[in-house]
């Protein structure tokens, strides 16, 4: 009888509903964080290009909020927590 093993990553992917709700990860303007720190955080945590990070940062600066990413709730929570730990003001909301 062959041994059965479960790969936790594959198992997790298989149990995630295909049509799970998406969440918007939002960066809020905060003049207490240096622009360079915002760019580095967005590039390192979310793996954004420099151009995308600049665009999001400038949108947040001009309008008060910038859309960082739309993703599943688990990743959205991760981004909000990780970017918040770097001093950025972050929220998430269900995508409409």
pLDDT at 96: 81
Tell me whether residue 6 is in a domain: no
pLDDT at 6 over 60: no
Asked, for residue 89, whether it belongs to a domain, the answer is yes
Domain assignment of residue 11, yes or no: no
CA angle 70/51/85 to nearest 5° reads 55
By the 8 A CB rule, do 82 and 45 touch?
Answer: yes
Residue 55 lies in a domain: yes
Tell me: pLDDT of 49 over 60. Answer: yes
The 3-state DSSP class for residue 56 equals: helix
pLDDT at 11: 47
pTM of the model: 0.80
- Confidence bin at 17 (pLDDT 50/70/90): low
Number of domains the chain contains = 1
Residue 54 lies in a domain: yes
Domain of 80? 20-94
Average pLDDT over the chain, rounded to an integer: 88
> Tens digits of per-residue pLDDT, 70-90?
999 999 999 999 999 999 999
CATH of the domain at 90: 3.30.1390.10
Residue range 16-45: average pLDDT? 92
């Amino acid at each position: 009888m062959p041994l059965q093993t479960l790969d936790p990553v594959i198992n997790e992917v298989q149990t995630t509903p295909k049509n799970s709700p998406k969440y918007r990860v939002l960066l809020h303007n905060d003049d207490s964080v240096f622009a360079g720190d915002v760019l580095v955080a967005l590039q390192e945590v979310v793996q954004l290009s420099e151009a995308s990070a600049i665009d999001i940062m400038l949108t947040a600066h001009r309008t008060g909020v910038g859309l960082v990413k739309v993703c599943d709730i688990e990743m959205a929570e991760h981004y909000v927590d990780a970017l918040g730990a770097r001093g950025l003001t972050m929220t998430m909301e269900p995508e409409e």
